[in-house]
Amino acid sequence: MPIFKDESPPIPTVGEVADSFLLKRRSQTKEQILSSTYHRYDSYDNVALDNIDENSVPKFIPKNNLTRLTNMSRDNMICSKCGEGFEPQEKIVNSTGQLWHQQCFVCAQCFREFRDGVFYEFDGRKYCEHDFQVLFAPCCNKCGEFIIGRVIKAMNASWHPNCFRCEMCSEELADTGFIKNGGRALCHECNAKVKARGLGKYICHKCHAMIDDQPLKFRGEVYHPYHFNCTTCGVELDSNAREVRNRSGFAKNDMNELYCLRCHDKMGVPICGACRRPIEERVVTALGKHWHVEHFACAKCEKPFFGHRHYEKKGLAYCETHYHQLFGNLCFVCNQVINGDVFTALNKAWCVHHFACSICDQKMNQKTKFYECDLKPACKKCYEKFPTEFRRRLRRQHEASHKKATTPVPS
Amino acid sequence: MENTHSAPAVVPVNTVSCIPLGSKMSKAKKVIEEAREINNPELDLFDKGISTFEEMPGLLNMLNITRITLSHNKIKDVPPGLANLTNLEILNLANNHIEELPLSLSSLPKLRILNLSMNRLNGLPRGFGAFPVLEVLDLTYNNLNENSLPGNFFMIETLRALYLSDNDFEYLPPDIKNLKNLQILALRENDLIELPKEIGELSRLRELHVQGNRLTILPPEIGNLDMASNKSVFKFEGNDWVTPIRDQLQLGIGHLMDYLKSETYRVLYNRFSTNKPKIPNSCIDKSKKVSRIR
């Protein structure tokens, strides 16, 4: 029995990308950045021996604070970088208790002297400001600039303290703390608002608590009604309170005042003829009543007129289409509203173009004599071509109905 | 050949064709040619002695035509190709000899008015109710009854006016209620024994012709219709109405409508529907109808 053996070559194991030395170093340095040291030194003049307090960064050490190296023999001194001694007349740089040749006291990256004597030390090496930032300083997630000093670490990124703000109201969050809400950093207040909206509720603009019952809208904000009292009678308000624009035509709402429903109704605000509620905005006056613009509508289709022409009939208003449909000014042939002259006959109406014989479709006018069959017009020529038997019946029927019409109805 | 001999002087030599050309036929051709020249979309071809569409060559290719009036001719067959005239809005075939219609007619996409009155129709083709925009259908004076309507006849929701006078209906299908836009219903001189209560659902009806039938009672639902207004017409003469209805009609339509809605009538109607009044005999002799000619 053959035994199958896995003879495929072994798959080499590859370290995770995060294991790479470079990345590791980078991630370590990021964490150490806040504790890395920042120095200013002064030298070039001569050897100075002074311990700079590493904890107080940045610190500027004035020139005259440097002490001359007097009690040390030049022969014992070696450069911290190259390990060589110093020439008798050679300038010695002293920083943080260590000595350097002037040409050795340079940026570990660009090998240039430190501009303005400022350098950054990290991992035992010294860097000029530019190279230090490029190599180690974090970038702000908002403005993209390097961050020196206080770094805010939040939302998986770094920020300048005044770049890290609430995404809704732009309030600085560095000292107040923040709440992560759907991938956004929000201040406590905005987070409450978002939460309330999610529940279909509002946050009171005054006490910042959620409004569980009906909110009261006032000057463009929402409130608990109980924060206010009626302007007239002083009673505590409920959600039925009315906001009244005090000066008509005054566009801003900061003159608005609140009234309880009772006082409001006594103020003579027009009442809508349809919904019986007061009209605070545009008033339509028609049919002897006042209406909300959106409540003045066709009695048939209930679509508001919004300023379009309406037709009145028996105390009701209709749109053009339904007025004609209901009160009969649609042409029997084209079924369109008749503009201009109307032919009215046989319980129907026709526009001038379509008043014609129903059999031969030839146009007729006021003078044309026509016969009637089921309230359809037939010109004389056509009528005479009807089957004789049919004509006889029609004639008999006509005579009968005529006789009936002339018979007095008993009362 | 005899025809060409009888009028040789009228026919110019260069238009002689194998079809015999009488004077009426050339008139029809002339109308079509004139219309084609000036691009007139309306054709008046009534009373031209036409007996077949073949006498109107090229007509079925005039796609711009919106109206054809062919009344007072002797047309027997309507070709299915008529449905090619997709712009047709009005088709008037009144007073012809049509016995059958093509199935394709109901596919005319813009046809609004169809007049087939005074023909010899014994039935309607399958799917006749498929007209998409038909508004007025005139079938007056044919040989139709409730069994000759196709299943989808009452699906023509756009219908405003339906003329079925002078036919042979004994009953009207309750599906009539589907014609929601119906304003005119003419059923004069049929053999109607009763009306369906569903007529009461035709809320826009303002003309109802039921003269000369065999009706005795009316369903109370008719009271829902606005037949008493001065914009409505209700024609009811020549029926064998039961005495209470006859009395109300004497007083006027308004009285009848109020009566139909009353509790008194409801009781009476229930009694009549279990114990039907005697069905009167047909009072009209239809054997002389021209539509009966075979």
Closest CA to B107 of B79, B78, B127, B137: B127
- State the smallest CA–CA distance between residue B109 and chain A in angstroms: 16
- Chain B residues in contact with A397 (beta carbon < 8 A): 211-212, 237-238
Specify the pairing of strand A152-154 against strand A125-127.
unpaired
Closest CA to B188 of B162, B211, B208: B211
> Whole-angstrom Cα distance, residue A390 to residue B288?
9
Secondary structure (3-state) at A325:
helix
Identify the closest residue of chain B to A382 by CA–CA distance. Answer: B72
Residue A262 has pLDDT above 70, yes or no: yes
Q: What is the pLDDT of residues A132-156, one digit of tens each?
A: 777 877 888 888 888 877 888 888 8
pLDDT of res. B11: 40
Q: Which of A65-74, A196-205, A387-396, B127-136 holds the top average pLDDT? A: B127-136
pLDDT of res. A306: 87
Secondary structure (3-state) at B290:
helix
- Chain A residues in contact with B166 (beta carbon < 8 A): 390
Q: Among A328-332, A361-365, B92-96, B112-116, where is mean pLDDT lowest? A: A328-332
Does residue B283 belong to the interface with chain A, where contact is any CB pair within 8 Å? no
> Whole-angstrom Cα distance, residue B284 to residue B189?
8
pTM (predicted TM-score) = 0.56
- State the smallest CA–CA distance between residue A359 and chain B in angstroms: 6
The neighbour count for residue A410, using CB atoms within 10 Å, is 6
Does residue B76 belong to the interface with chain A, where contact is any CB pair within 8 Å? no
pLDDT of res. A379: 94
**Residues in CB range of B114: below 8 A, 6 or more apart:** B91, B93, B131, B134, B136, B137, B138
> Whole-angstrom Cα distance, residue A341 to residue A322?
19
Residue tagged 């798959």 (tokens) = A11
Q: What is the pLDDT of residues A13-62, one digit of tens each?
A: 333 333 334 444 444 444 443 333 444 443 333 333 333 334 433 333 33
List the 215-274 stretch of B: residues with Cβ below 8 A of A.
231-233, 237-238, 250-252
CATH class for domain B23-292? alpha beta
Q: Tell how far CA B217 is from the center of its chain.
A: 25
Q: Tell how far CA A268 is from the center of its chain.
A: 39
pLDDT of res. B88: 96
Does residue B115 belong to the interface with chain A, where contact is any CB pair within 8 Å? yes
> Whole-angstrom Cα distance, residue A317 to residue A313?
6
- State the smallest CA–CA distance between residue A305 and chain B in angstroms: 24
Position A205, amino acid: H
Closest CA to A100 of A88, A117, A114, A83: A83
pLDDT of res. A60: 35
> Whole-angstrom Cα distance, residue B287 to residue A102?
136
**Interfacial residues of A (vs B; Cβ cutoff 8 Å):** 327-328, 332-333, 335, 347, 358-362, 373-376, 382, 385-387, 389-390, 393, 397, 400-401, 404, 409-410
Determine whether the interchain pair A376/B69 forms a contact, defined as Cβ–Cβ distance below 8 Å.
no
Q: Extract long-range pairs of A243-249: CB within 8 Å, 24+ residues apart.
A: A243/A217, A243/A218, A243/A219, A243/A280, A244/A269, A244/A280, A245/A280
Closest partner residue to B233 (CB to CB) among A332, A375, A393 is A375
Tokens linked to A273: 């003829």
Closest CA to B153 of B121, B183, B186, B175: B175
Q: Which residue has the higher pLDDT, A112 or B172?
A: B172
- Chain A residues in contact with B207 (beta carbon < 8 A): 347, 375
Secondary structure (3-state) at A124:
coil
Determine whether the interchain pair A390/B290 forms a contact, defined as Cβ–Cβ distance below 8 Å.
yes
Domains of chain B, residue spans: 23-292
Residue A175 has pLDDT above 70, yes or no: yes
List the 130-189 stretch of B: residues with Cβ below 8 A of A.
135-136, 138, 140-141, 160-161, 163, 165-166, 184, 186, 188-189
Closest CA to A364 of A374, A375, A348, A351: A351
> Whole-angstrom Cα distance, residue A320 to residue A58?
83
pLDDT of res. B109: 96
The pLDDT confidence band at residue B152, using thresholds 50, 70 and 90, is very high
- State the smallest CA–CA distance between residue A169 and chain B in angstroms: 58
A200 CB-contact burial (10 Å; exposed 0-12 / middle 13-18 / buried 19+): exposed
Q: Tell how far CA A215 is from the center of its chain.
A: 22
Residue A12 has pLDDT above 80, yes or no: no
- State the smallest CA–CA distance between residue B48 and chain A in angstroms: 12
